[in-house]
Structure 1
């Protein structure tokens, strides 16, 4: 069953964060944070499957360089509480292979550019199975500027979509990402689909887990349980049981349907002729 995860985060100076440091970590590179006079070296980080910068066609070449891009952002966003970047964090359906993940990421990033006119810095991360991560957890961090590219190819005005209609904009992207994932799953030959709606809205009996955050995640990787991680483990176990019930129920429905079709065929006086079902399904 395909996994759906899509979240939107802000990278803000008021939270003590640096756009340069964030990009260095996600890309697994060594970048120089000119504002802090600090080297951000994450070259020892493993699992970076792909890193790529996407931008509008008229973007100045210096903004296509990861180190220059985020240092320019740090200079332009000069307030102590500046919002430096936004980030989409997505999980790929585990059914997709590396090439299919890259194709899906390319399409998503191009859609972001079309809608917001921004520069996008994206990286695909493979799961750290040695640290206890689920082997299906291929995901991407998609950082993008809060300013669109102007007619001169520079960072121009602040984008207003998330500020003016934040809830609607996030919902737009959650639904768009689900549609994109389902399109790529179908293209790869899978019938399974993801659903961007909450478990409550899907009315499927499943329960959402609690966001763990970086501290809880780090402790989990060290083998240390917390109240949140234990509760999430319990929720996941309950959901797994419920999913088994759902899948078994679907299988029983399929078996019952097949039996009904077979019975209708044997009872039909023209059972040797092709039925409408045969034509629709097998042609």
Structure 2
């Protein structure tokens, strides 16, 4: 299940560390430090799956070059005990796909870091069972006059700022988990603040894990963690046992009626009840999902409704121009196939972290979706199946993106289905093995 982790560390010269070395190691690149003359080469590092530098609008272009950026950071510091950079390390929810991890990180970085004037060097280490991200931050404000760095911003080091980051990371993660239809949630608060009767585990550290892999027994911390987990599990089993006792005969009859009434209205559902598990999941999903859709599509829609259709429950996004987009989870459907509906449908698929789409409907409709999806940069042509682009489609794409190469035959991949609301084209029978997005 998803775990919460956000820690902040300082890169300081007093500990013998440099921003250039830290950036090279985390990004798996080779960087030469102009100040010390050292070269840090970590190009053999294989776990790096994503790397990108984010800068505020007023930053010069050269700051997007990793070696130039961190050498400039080092040269802007003159003291022997300088704090050259700050690092945020976050755990990425394993319930999300790699593309959803990227969306999650970019949203957090833009809203919490770049908006405050920081430069963020973001790297994802896709370790099996432990995907996480390193966010290396500058500590000085950008000075436009000298095309470099100015004074340090002390507010970035405040306790209030740290608490804001911790809370916002949990909110961003839970928002993405909700969009992905996952029931997992994380909480930035301590176990005591959450009111949980559990003992917190202790931090083991990467060095201990590495030594354990080599068969070396390291510290007593792992033994302590094992005992803590056993104690917590025992407490949980006791709670489950007490809850399983049949005490209905001693309960007040009126209270029982209230509970049953709540169940029938989907206001209260037992997640351990097999018959109601699906309803419980849908109820949780609905309560958190509509506000998220309203936030994402604030510039495009007038509201979001939960409705019942002939093919099940969905969330209807009512667009400003009168169009409608229907979100069925693994399927998306549009009312008439207008440009506005297609644009929003593709944006919704991107927010969900979809890797591909399968098109059904008329050729005119498929053409419109294919061109819009490719030009948006969200999907490469080979990730769009169910349609062979015409010469006119290719000419439009090549005019807008001359460097883009499109193969003659699209490869068959696991994808999602887009279907027009009039039901034209192939949908259920021949594509039953695929999750579907209906437009």
Superposition TM-score tier, normalisation by shorter sequence: 0.7 to 0.9
Return the TM-score normalized by structure 2: 0.53
- 1:230 aligned residue: 223
- The change in CA–CA distance for 1:118 and 1:224 in structure 2 (over 3 A counts) is same
Cα RMSD (Å)? 3.0
1:93 Cα deviation (Å)? Answer: 1.0
Q: How does 1:237-248 map to 2 (within 5 A)?
A: 237-239=230-232
Stretches of structure 1 lacking an aligned partner (at least 5 in a row) = 128-134, 266-274
Q: Secondary structure at the match of 2:10?
A: strand
Q: How does 1:166-181 map to 2 (within 5 A)?
A: 166-181=158-173
- The change in CA–CA distance for 1:217 and 1:206 in structure 2 (over 3 A counts) is same
- Structure 2: distance between partners of 1:196 and 1:214: 22
- 1:131 aligned residue: none
Higher-helix-fraction structure: 1
Task: Map Cα deviations across residues 190-233 of structure 1 (whole Å, 9 max, x no partner).
Answer: 12210000112222122222233453343234332212233234
Comparing 197-206 and 213-222, the one that deviates more: 213-222
- 1:159 aligned residue: 153
Comparing 207-216 and 92-101, the one that deviates more: 207-216
- The change in CA–CA distance for 1:240 and 1:9 in structure 2 (over 3 A counts) is farther
Q: Secondary structure at the match of 1:126?
A: strand
- Based on CA coordinates, which of the two structures has the bigger radius of gyration? 2
Task: Map Cα deviations across residues 36-73 of structure 1 (whole Å, 9 max, x no partner).
Answer: 21110111111111011000112112211001111111
Q: Secondary structure at the match of 2:224?
A: helix
Stretches of structure 2 lacking an aligned partner (at least 5 in a row) = 249-255, 268-281, 284-306, 309-439
Comparing 212-221 and 179-188, the one that deviates more: 212-221
- Structure 1: distance between partners of 2:160 and 2:213: 35
- The change in CA–CA distance for 1:40 and 1:220 in structure 2 (over 3 A counts) is same
Q: Secondary structure at the match of 2:130?
A: coil
Which one of 175, 179, 194 corresponds to residue 183 of structure 1? 175
Which of the pair has the greater relative contact order for Cα pairs under 8 Å at 6+ separation? 1
- 1:146 aligned residue: 139
Q: How many residues align?
A: 258
1:238 Cα deviation (Å)? Answer: 4.0
- The change in CA–CA distance for 1:33 and 1:234 in structure 2 (over 3 A counts) is farther
Q: How does 1:181-260 map to 2 (within 5 A)?
A: 181-225=173-217, 226-239=219-232
- The change in CA–CA distance for 1:84 and 1:97 in structure 2 (over 3 A counts) is same
